[in-house]
């Protein structure tokens, strides 16, 4: 690969033009690695990660950590917090702390499931609409507009009521409400990517439209969709709890945060019944939002480009 061995000091003559950046690429990679790492030093992201880790730990270890069975109603009803029941007991005489711990095994995994499902449905629909355009675009986007026209929670209530109240149906109802957001984002991403010259190049090679979408476009859209999904987990927790609060999700006696808050609302004088699950929802939602915001800043193409353009 050497063209002309004139150089002293053992510097090989690089092949072709402009090899300098090429030779330095390991250096740039290292630098970029540190840059994407730097957001983690931001306090908000750290708080988010710590809180999420805390709740995941609780969810996994609930059977061992919880002092009592969450469904056992053997205790005095509406007892204020004391050393035996740190968070008191609820209207049916169950230990609030234990129910709270078991509740995290419902809310967080279901929220993740909900986001995964709507991301899958939304991305597929959005990609089809964006890439094929014309009537496919028309149909998908009109349905999306229709969904957007209703207040989300009301539509979800109607759907959940129609399916019959249960946690599974609540998740399905919320998928119906949330997929259009992903469809819109993915559609606009694909619309702008579709015109890229690398797509033309792939088509000229003989790549079919479907293959181009899956092989060439998908990896380019995936990053931003993942960020959006991470941002939405907090929102999903809130929506699911909301449906359960309204009695359309988790059914008694299952320990679920929304349902627990609802119990708290019925026993308003015993603040501990509703306040602790409410706090749990608050912390989870905030934590995911902090994390999502940081991820978005870190992965935003404009921010990344700005960082990269720095020497």
Partner 1 sequence: MTDVAVTYEQRGRSVRAVAGVDLTVERGQIVGLVGESGCGKSTLAKAAVGLVPTSGGSVRFDGTPVVPLGRRSRPVALRRMQMVFQDPYSSLNPRRRIGDQIEDGLTLAAGFRGDRRARIAELLDRVQLPTDAARRYPHEFSGGQRQRLAIARALAAEPSLVVADEAISALDASAQAAVANLLVTLTRELDMGLLFISHDLAIVRQVADVTAVMYLGKVVEAGPTTAVWNDPAHPYTAALIGAVPIPDGSGALPVDLPGDVPDPAAPPSGCRFHPRCPQRFGPCAGTEPTMLQLGSGRQAACWLNDRAVVGA
Partner 2 sequence: MTAPVLDVEDLRVLLPSGAGAALPAVDGISFSVAPGEIVGLAGESGSGKTMTALALFGLLPHGATTEGSLRFDGADVLTMPARRLRGLRGRSMSMVFQDPMTSLHPMLTVEKQITEHLRFHTGIGRRAARARALELLEQVRIPDPARTLGAYPHQFSGGMRQRVAIAVALACSPRLLIADEPTTALDVTVQAGILRLLDRLRREEGLAILIITHDLGVMSALADRVVVMYAGRIAESGPTAEVLGAPRHPYTRGLLDALPHPERGTGALVPIIGSPPVLGGKPAGCAFHPRCAFAQPGCARHRPEVLPLDDRRSLACPIDPFAAAPALSVKGPT
Q: Is 253 helix (H, G, I), strand (E, B) or coil?
A: coil
- Residue found by looking up tokens 């028309």 in the block: 138
- The span of 72-80, 200-208, 242-250, 269-277 binding partner 1 (CB under 8 A) equals 200-208
Q: For the chain, how many residues are written?
A: 311
CB 160 within 8 A of CB 249: yes
Q: Applying CB under 8 A, which part among 25-33, 61-69, 122-130, 249-257 lies near partner 1?
A: 25-33
Name residues whose C-beta falls within 8 Å of residue 112's C-beta, 6 or more positions apart in sequence.
233, 236
The helix (run of H) or strand (run of E) holding residue 300 is none
Q: Give the distance from CA 63 to its chain's centroid.
A: 26
Which of 20, 149, 162, 310 is the binder for partner 1 (CB under 8 A)? 20
Residues in contact with partner 1, shown as a per-residue x/- string from 120 to 159 under the rule CB under 8 A: ------------x---------------------------
Q: Any idea of the CA torsion for 149, 150, 156, 160, to the nearest 10 degrees?
A: -100
- Rule CB under 8 A: say whether 302 interacts with partner 2: no
Rule CB under 8 A: which of 240-259 touch partner 1? none
Instruction: Enumerate residues 6+ apart whose C-beta is below 8 A from 123.
Output: 182, 183, 186, 221, 225
Q: How far is the CB of 2 from partner 2 (least distance, A)?
A: 10
Confirm or reject binding of residue 209 to partner 1 (CB under 8 A). yes
Instruction: Report if residue 4 touches partner 1, rule: CB under 8 A.
Output: no
Least distance in Å: CB of 249 to partner 1? 38
* Residue 81 binds partner 2, judged by CB under 8 A: no
Does 36 help bind partner 1 (rule: CB under 8 A)?
no
Task: Compute φ and ψ for 287, nearest 5 degrees.
Answer: -60, -45
Q: Which does 11 bind (CB under 5 to 8 A by kind): partner 1, partner 2, none?
A: partner 2
3-state DSSP assignment of residue 217: helix
The site map against partner 2 for 30-69 (x = CB under 8 A) is -x--xx----------------------------------
Dig out the tokens for 165 from the structure. Answer: 């109240």
State the sign of the Cα–Cα–Cα–Cα dihedral 216, 39, 117, 145: negative
Kindly tell me which of 42 and 203 has the beta carbon lying closer to partner 1: 203
14 is an interface residue for partner 2 by CB under 8 A? yes
Distance CA 145, CA 296 (A): 25
Interface with partner 1 (CB under 8 A), residue from 201, 214, 252, 265: 201
CA distance 113 to 265: 28
Judged by CB under 8 A, the residue of 1, 9, 43, 149 near partner 2 is 9
Secondary structure of residue 89 in the 3-state scheme: strand
- Applying CB under 8 A, the span of 44-52, 87-95, 157-165, 197-205 interacting with partner 1 comes to 197-205
Q: How far apart are CA 294 and CA 44, in angstroms?
A: 8
Q: 32 or 168: whose CB is closer to partner 1?
A: 32
Residue span binding partner 1 (CB under 8 A) among the ranges 17-25, 99-107, 150-158, 175-183 = 17-25
Cα angle for residues 135, 138, 143 (degrees, 5° grid): 130
Contact footprint for partner 2 (CB under 8 A): 3-4, 6-9, 11, 13-14, 17-21, 23-24, 27, 31, 34-35, 310-311
Give me the residues that bind partner 1 (CB under 8 A), please: 1, 15-22, 25, 28-29, 132, 196-198, 200-209, 211, 215-216, 219-220
């Amino acid at each position: 690969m050497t063209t002309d061995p004139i150089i002293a000091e053992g510097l090989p003559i690089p092949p072709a033009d402009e090899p300098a950046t090429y030779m330095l690429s390991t250096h740039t990679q290292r630098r970029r690695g540190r840059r994407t790492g730097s957001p983690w030093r931001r306090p908000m992201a750290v708080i988010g990660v710590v809180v999420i880790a805390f709740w995941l730990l609780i969810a996994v270890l609930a059977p061992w950590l919880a002092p009592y069975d969450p469904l056992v109603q053997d205790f005095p009803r509406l007892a204020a917090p004391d050393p035996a029941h740190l968070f008191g007991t609820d209207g049916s005489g169950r230990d609030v702390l234990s129910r709270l711990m078991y509740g995290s095994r419902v809310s967080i995994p279901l929220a993740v499931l909900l986001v995964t499902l709507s991301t899958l449905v939304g991305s597929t629909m959005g990609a089809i609409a964006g890439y094929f355009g014309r009537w496919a675009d028309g149909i998908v986007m009109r349905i999306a507009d229709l969904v957007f026209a209703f207040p989300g929670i009301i539509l979800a209530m109607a759907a959940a009521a129609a399916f019959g109240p249960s946690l599974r149906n609540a998740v399905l109802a919320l998928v119906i409400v949330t997929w259009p957001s992903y469809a819109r984002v993915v559609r606009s991403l694909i619309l702008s990517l579709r015109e890229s010259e690398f797509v033309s190049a792939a088509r000229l090679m003989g790549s079919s439209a479907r293959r181009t979408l899956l092989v060439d476009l998908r990896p380019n859209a995936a990053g931003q969709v993942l960020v959006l999904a991470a941002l939405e987990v907090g929102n999903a927790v809130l929506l699911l709890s909301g449906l359960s609060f309204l009695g359309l999700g988790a059914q008694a006696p299952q320990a679920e945060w929304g349902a627990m808050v609802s119990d708290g609302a019925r026993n308003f004088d015993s603040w501990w019944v509703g306040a602790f699950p409410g706090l749990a929802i608050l912390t989870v939602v905030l934590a995911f939002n902090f994390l999502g915001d940081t991820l978005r800043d870190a992965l935003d193409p404009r921010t990344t480009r700005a960082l990269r353009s720095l020497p």
